């Protein structure tokens, strides 16, 4: 049996890699530079699965991923929540830390800490990538903000752990695959289904779509809108609902929505992850 | 009569400054480093107005602004659309351009152009700030991506104009003020009203709120959700609707929503901007 291959964005030690280990404890994990690369690689079949962040409990949706989900041929087959716990990471024997490099979102999440210690925030592409950079460039007045795993992998010093301003910091990841996994419905398991639709811009159009769920007591767990990019101020809507495609109520709701929207795409049904 | 003062984020030449000139042709425009500074300054009364980007036709909502709108005491009193036309800007007598510095969103919007010419994208905090930096640091192998105005202000060379991958690139700005401008309703003018509300997480809650608009034929122009940050996966909703607070239908809809939502904030009514 061949080893399962999973692609994630970022350098080794990125939160995407940690989430992948949680979902696929024995898989071969392959880092890629950009989210676009992750989608392309899994779509070509170079990997069995892609794992991508869709939403953070503090920062909200990851816009670029939503745009890529619109175009992908892959299906959503799972989700996983990953706690984000930022560390201030430096070379051993560093001087006083004046600068902190990280992804702008991680910098924003540690704004209070950085201000308290008079450390200037410096944008980088990547959390774990910033650790790699300050190591390779032997920067002794600079630190990186990234995961404990990133510090361990690059053999760097953790100055402080848990420096994020809010502790309820979680990222939700989706697992994507070209193969639509045949669902074996477990009686007591809870499912989610993710769909995308776009609307002609008429009064009440969104309301009519949501009515298809509300009238069947189907709960929405998330609604997101993104510009279509073709016509300014027209939107695609991304909706997650409870239930799976084998539920009669949900499939009849989706059938009605199909007739009312100018575009609909069903990303897939998957088991709801435990949030802990 | 004292001069009207307007604060915007970024260095001089930022798109926020260009939008401010469009809306306030004779005002004194004051650049500030961060969006947070812009809100604080106008809330303290150091400026009469703040102008902030809420949404781009390609990239979608500006998350940080939505979070700041939740907390602000200011009212939305106007909106303006600004075309975003990126230029590749360099020092005069530059060498071959290997790197392009700009805000990550501007870099993303010119991804195709940069790939075509083999130029590496380098993140910076600011579009116009990147122009200032490559000038001050006398970088001859690097360019910045920013507005024509930024090139002119810093007396730099425009290598190419209009390098964004999609031409329908517009940003919508809101004008904020501590003073709730008494509305003089113009009979033929069109208005918009911006509100924020949060919901208890029950099936159909969002649907019930939207029903208050739909049943009165009030058109939604935008709906956005942002995490509450207090409880993971609970959201505040930001809605723009057509009409103003003096409309009977709209005020009765808002009254009903107030009784159904756990929190509601009315940002304000303002004249709808021409989109051109």
Could you tell me which chain B residue has the CA closest to the CA of A65?
Answer: B59
**Tens-digit pLDDT profile for residues B234-261:** 889 999 999 999 999 999 999 999 998 8
Mean pLDDT over residues B153-164, rounded?
97
Could you tell me which chain B residue has the CA closest to the CA of A166?
Answer: B229
Q: Lowest-confidence range among B4-8, B45-49, B230-234? A: B230-234
Mean pLDDT over residues B34-44, rounded?
96
Phi, psi of A125 (to 5 degrees): -75, -20
Helix, strand, coil % in chain A, rounded to nearest 5: 30, 35, 40
Predicted pLDDT at B203: 66
Reduced to 3 states (helix: H, G, I; strand: E, B; else coil), residue A172 is strand
Encode B130-142: b = buried (16+ Cβ within 10 Å), e = exposed.
bbbbbbeeebbeb
Predicted pLDDT at B125: 80
Predicted pLDDT at A152: 97
Predicted pLDDT at A20: 98
Which chain A residues have a beta carbon less than 8 Å from that of B233? 57, 172, 221-222, 275
Mean pLDDT over residues B227-231, rounded?
87
From first to last of its 276 residues, what are the pLDDT tens digits of chain A? 589 999 999 999 999 999 999 999 999 999 999 999 999 999 999 999 999 999 999 889 998 899 999 999 999 999 999 999 999 999 999 999 999 999 988 998 999 999 999 999 998 888 999 999 999 999 999 999 999 999 999 999 999 999 999 999 999 999 999 987 666 777 778 999 999 999 876 667 888 899 999 999 999 989 999 998 888 888 899 999 999 999 999 999 999 999 988 899 999 999 999 876
Active site residue A35: no
pTM of the model: 0.88
Count chain A–chain B contacts defined by CB atoms under 8 A.
107
Encode B158-197: b = buried (16+ Cβ within 10 Å), e = exposed.
eeeeebbbeeebbbbbbbbbbeeeeeeeeeeeebbbbbbb
Set A8, A35, A173, A213: catalytic member? A173
**Strand A235-242 vs strand A5-9: parallel, antiparallel, or unpaired?**
unpaired
Which chain A residues have a beta carbon less than 8 Å from that of B217? 203-204
Q: Do B229 and A108 touch (CB under 8 A)?
A: no
Predicted pLDDT at A202: 65
Phi, psi of B134 (to 5 degrees): -70, -25
Taking alpha carbons only, the member of A95, A88, A53 closest to residue A164 is: A88
Which chain B residues have a beta carbon less than 8 Å from that of A210? 206-207, 210
For residue B187, name the pLDDT band (cuts at 50, 70, 90): confident
Residues B94, B118: Cα–Cα separation, whole Å: 16
Q: Is A112 at the interface with chain B, CB within 8 A? A: no
- Which of A37, A58, A209, A213 is best to mutate for the B interface (most B CBs within 10 A)? A58
Residues B136, A41: Cα–Cα separation, whole Å: 41
Predicted pLDDT at A158: 98
């Amino acid at each position: 049996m061949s080893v399962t291959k999973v692609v994630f964005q970022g350098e080794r030690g990125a939160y995407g890699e940690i989430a992948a280990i949680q979902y696929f404890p024995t898989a071969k994990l392959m880092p890629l530079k950009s989210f676009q690369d992750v989608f392309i690689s899994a779509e070509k079949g170079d990997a069995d699965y892609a794992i991508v962040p869709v939403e953070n409990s503090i920062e909200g949706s990851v816009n670029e991923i939503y745009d890529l989900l619109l175009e992908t041929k892959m299906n959503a087959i799972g989700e996983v929540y990953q706690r984000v716990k930022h560390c201030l990471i430096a070379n051993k024997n560093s001087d006083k830390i004046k600068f902190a490099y990280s992804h702008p979102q991680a910098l924003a999440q540690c704004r209070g800490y950085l201000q308290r210690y008079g450390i200037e925030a410096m944008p980088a592409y990547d959390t774990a990538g910033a650790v790699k950079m300050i190591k390779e460039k032997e920067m002794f007045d600079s630190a990186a903000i990234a995961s404990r795993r990133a510090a361990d992998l690059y053999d760097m010093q953790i100055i402080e752990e848990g420096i994020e301003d809010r502790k309820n910091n979680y990222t939700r990841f989706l697992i994507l695959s070209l193969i639509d996994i045949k669902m074996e419905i477990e009686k007591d398991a809870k499912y989610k289904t993710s769909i995308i639709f776009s609307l002609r811009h008429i009064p009440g159009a969104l309301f009519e779509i949501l009515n298809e769920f509300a009238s069947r007591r189907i709960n929405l767990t998330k609604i997101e809108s993104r510009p279509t990019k073709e016509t300014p101020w027209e939107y695609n809507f991304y909706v997650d609902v409870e239930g799976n495609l084998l539920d009669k109520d949900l499939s009849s709701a989706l059938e009605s929505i199909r007739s009312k929207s100018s575009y609909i795409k069903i990303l897939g049904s998957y088991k709801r992850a435990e949030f802990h």
